[in-house]
């Protein structure tokens, strides 16, 4: 298994641009550079050599740094084929086996529509770069896709191994866990995680990556079949909710106004 390490570069208000570094080589893949300046600074400071940019979806906080970045480093740009991202040189469809560079493991390109219609996620070994689809203790808003699409995408992610590392694109964990606490106030796992995350944030530390195992225990959007979550959603909406999609839809709408 080709070894790599991952570094999060904070950008904009609360985004992370992920740098995947191959072993001890200086080569890095850059994911979702919404702002090029801190990324270029991190690359130059560590004398790294970018070999590619990967984009998960078309929103400005994931793509606006791409073209200015390319003025400094001419690299190929991989991104979803069905979203309008002019800088993309290698439009992607979902596939099992994308080889970007010889120093890196090949990755699985996964269609995860919902937040946007063409959103992609990238799985390198056990590390999932999922943009704004799954957040730690939350999920993306609907900005182009449907509730059904987003739930299906999240359920696919839930089928990956429990140890899968979740590299999402925003530092939302602490705020998301406040919502988790309201949905499942009796959950010890959520309370303990919330305290731990608040401590990390008080020290200005990153809360990512999460793991799928942690998310399955603390993320209400992955727990729509749990009786406690169903009950909370039904109380909120004062209706019987007949299936998982109905529960998910109520949770997502509730969180939109939270
Ligand atoms: Zn987005």
**Distance separating alpha carbons of residues 166 and 201, to the nearest angstrom:** 18
Each residue's pLDDT expressed in tens, for the chain with a length of 258 residues: 678 999 999 999 999 999 999 998 999 999 999 999 999 999 999 999 999 999 999 999 999 999 999 999 999 999 999 999 999 999 999 998 999 999 999 999 999 999 999 999 999 999 999 999 999 999 999 999 999 999 999 999 999 999 999 999 999 999 999 999 999 999 999 999 999 999 999 999 999 999 999 999 999 999 999 999 999 999 999 999 999 999 999 999 999 999
- How far does the centroid of ligand 1 lie from the alpha carbon of residue 24, in Å? 32
Residue ranges per domain, the chain? 4-168, 173-256
Sign of CA dihedral 131, 133, 138, 143: positive
- How far does the centroid of ligand 1 lie from the alpha carbon of residue 57, in Å? 7
Task: Give the tokens for residue 211.
Answer: 């793991």
User: Which residues are placed with Cβ below 5 angstroms of ligand 1, an ion?
Assistant: 59, 132
- How far does the centroid of ligand 1 lie from the alpha carbon of residue 51, in Å? 24
Out of 3.40.50.720, 3.60.15.10, 3.30.200.20, 4.10.1240.10, the CATH code matching 4-168 is: 3.60.15.10
């Amino acid at each position: 298994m080709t070894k790599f390490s991952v570094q999060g570069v904070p950008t904009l208000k609360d985004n992370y641009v992920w740098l995947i570094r191959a072993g001890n080589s200086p080569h890095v893949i850059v994911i979702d550079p919404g702002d090029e300046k801190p990324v270029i600074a991190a690359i130059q400071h560590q004398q790294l050599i970018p070999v590619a940019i990967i984009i998960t979806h078309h929103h400005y906080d994931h793509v606006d740094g791409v073209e200015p970045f390319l003025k400094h480093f001419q690299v190929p740009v991989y991104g979803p084929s069905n979203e309008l991202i002019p800088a993309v040189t290698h439009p992607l469809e979902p596939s099992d086996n994308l080889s970007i560079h010889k120093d890196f493991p090949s990755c699985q390109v996964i269609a995860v529509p919902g937040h946007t219609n063409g959103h992609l996620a990238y799985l390198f070994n056990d590390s999932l770069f999922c943009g704004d689809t799954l957040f730690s203790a939350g999920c993306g808003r609907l900005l182009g896709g449907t509730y059904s699409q987003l739930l299906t995408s999240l359920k696919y992610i839930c089928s990956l191994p429990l140890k899968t590392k979740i590299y999402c694109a925003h530092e939302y964990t602490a705020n998301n866990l406040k919502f988790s606490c309201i949905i499942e106030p009796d959950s010890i796992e959520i309370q303990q995680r919330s305290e731990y995350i608040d401590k990390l944030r008080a020290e200005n530390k990153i809360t990512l990556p999460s793991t799928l195992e942690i998310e399955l225990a603390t993320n209400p959007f992955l727990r729509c079949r749990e009786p406690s979550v169903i009950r909370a959603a039904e109380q909120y909406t004062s209706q019987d909710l007949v299936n998982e999609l109905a529960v998910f839809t109520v949770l997502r709408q509730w969180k939109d106004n939270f």
